[in-house]
Structure formats: structure tokens, C-alpha cells
Amino acid sequence: MSLAYITHQQCHQHAMGAHHPEQPARLDAINDRLIASSLMMVLTQYDAPLASREQLLRVHDADYVDQVFARSPANGLTWLDGDTAMNPFSLDAALRAAGANILAVDLVMSGANDQAFCAVRPPGHHAERAKTMGFCFFNNVAVGAAHAIAEHGLKRVAIVDFDVHHGNGTENIFSGDDKVLFCSTFQHPFYPHTGYDTRVANIVNAPLPAGTDGTRFREAIIASWLPAIDSFAPELIVISAGFDGHREDPMAQFNLLESDYAWVTGELMELANKHASGRVTSSLEGGYHLHALARSVSAHLRALTGDD
């Protein structure tokens, strides 16, 4: 298996203050782990391009995109909500994060790589069609999925989100879209307090209580996600890869381990091999305990390559 690893130095330059949990050190921790484990040696590395306005407008309203651009500061921080701020480098970082998902789709659809992982920040799955929230500006995976449909003619794209927080932005963008199946596991009740009561045909949500461990996490996925994805028969699987459900992570109350992330990735790879010629793209979302994040990403990438 040939795995693309897409990132960019500008993703390190986005910073929201010394004590903000979504910090540049997240990418440094991942990079250091991949080098130390020699996994970086087998990855094909790419620089993330800037997403274009046209690509953003497939999933975001024009007025919203204009507002994000207009609020980009020349210096200091501008807060777009209580959790999400821009420094002078944030706009380009957000465009690179979305652009990485565009490149990921192009690489796997062309056959240049079998799978792709986007080591990017800011994350994206909380960004709605016209709303910034939860550290997210543009919905990276949504931009990638919409590109796959618009430019590669795909009719069935599955987006799966195992971040501990519900992917409200992705649900908001694709709710009712029969070309996209969206599956999400998340802690409930918990931020952003959405998804637990969704009743839409193309949305498969599995809310889980605080204290959820690997056994319960796996049972929920086996009961809900896997049959829905198998029935949908996606031509591409897109992963919102959040690792903040790890038991060491301070942002939530799940008790998952690296092995649980490797397991769910392996299950998704089986479905991708069955229906999508192995095509999978994955993009970093949450994960705030640096060591747990780095170990979990490493386990995820090994499972994507079949080396788990």
C-alpha cells in the first residue's frame, strides 16, 4: 500500500495563544513519532496546496467565506467565537488544511497513492456551511468530499468521524444529500450538543456516554456504521480522524486506546477494499494529549497501510 502524507509548514504557524489546546505542537508530536518509529520512511510526502474560493464554495456560503477572509488580522489575534481565533497565519493554514483534502482525493483517485493522510490544522469538522466553531474555519473533509463528487464524478462518498465530539459541521453541510453517507460516533451529552436526535436517511450517528471504552465503541460501530457503509457501497471513504477519545486526553471522558483506532481503521479499510478499490483519505481533527495523539496517529497510519 502506498500512503500519501500531506502537510504544510503554514499549518504550524496558526496559533491561538500559549494555553490553547489546539496548538502547533500537535503536528510536531506526530512528526517526531513517525520519524522515531521509522514510519515516515514509508510515506510519500506532499505539501498541501491552498484551497481555492471555488472549492470552498461547494460547501460554504459565499458571505461566510468572505467574512473569514475579512477578519484575518494583520497582527495579534481576532476571535471569531469563544474558542476559535485567527492570527496573521491562520487563514493560509486553514486554506492549506482544506487544500490538503483536495490533493488527497486527487492522489487516491488518480492511483498515485492508495490512501492519504492529511496532517493539518486547523481542524474542520465543526465548521458548518455558514458558521465557525470549535477551533474550525473551513470543513476540510467536506471540501474534499465535494471535490470528489464535482471533479471525479463520484456518486457515493462515505464520511466517517470517530472524533469524540460530534461532527456537526459535516452533518450540517451534507444532511439529506444522497451522494454522501455521514457516520459519527461521539460522547453525549457533550459539546457541541448535536447529533443525538438526528433522523435523516444519510446520517448514521452513534452517541455514546462518558466512560465509553473500546468494547462499547466497537459494538456501536459494528451495529451502526459497518452495515450502513456496506449497504451504501461507497466509491471513496473519507475519515475525520479525531483522537481525543483516548483515555489520556483531557478534553473528554472516553477511554479508548491506540488499538481501538487501529481496529476501526482496519474495518474501514476492509470496506474500502470491497467497494472503493481501497481508496481512503483521512484528515486530522481532534487529539490534545500530545503523546497519546502521536501514538494514535501512528496506529491509524499503520492500519491504513495494512501494517497493524
Mean pLDDT to the nearest integer, 176-183: 98
Please report the DSSP string for 149-185 in residue order. Answer: HHHH--S-EEEEE-SSS--HHHHHHHTT-TTEEEEEE
* 308 pLDDT tier (thresholds 50, 70, 90): low
- How distant, in Å, are the alpha carbons of 29, 122, 149, 243 from that of 32? 5, 19, 35, 17
**pLDDT tens digit sequence for 36-72:** 999 999 999 999 999 999 999 999 999 999 999 999 9
Q: For the chain, what is the mean pLDDT?
A: 98
pLDDT of 297:
98
> 98 is in which domain, residue-wise?
3-305
pLDDT at 74: 98
Q: What's the CATH code of the domain at 292?
A: 3.40.800.20
Q: Which residues of 74-107 are buried (b: 16+ CB within 10 A; e: fewer)?
A: eeeebebeebbbbbebbbbbbbbbbbbbbbbbbb
**Residue 186, SS3?**
strand
Structural domains in the chain (count): 1
Model confidence at 5, in pLDDT bands (50, 70, 90)? very high
What is the average per-residue pLDDT within 128-152?
A: 98
Using the predicted structure, report yes or no on whether residue 1 has a pLDDT greater than 70: no
pLDDT at residue 49, as a whole number: 98
DSSP tag of 246: B
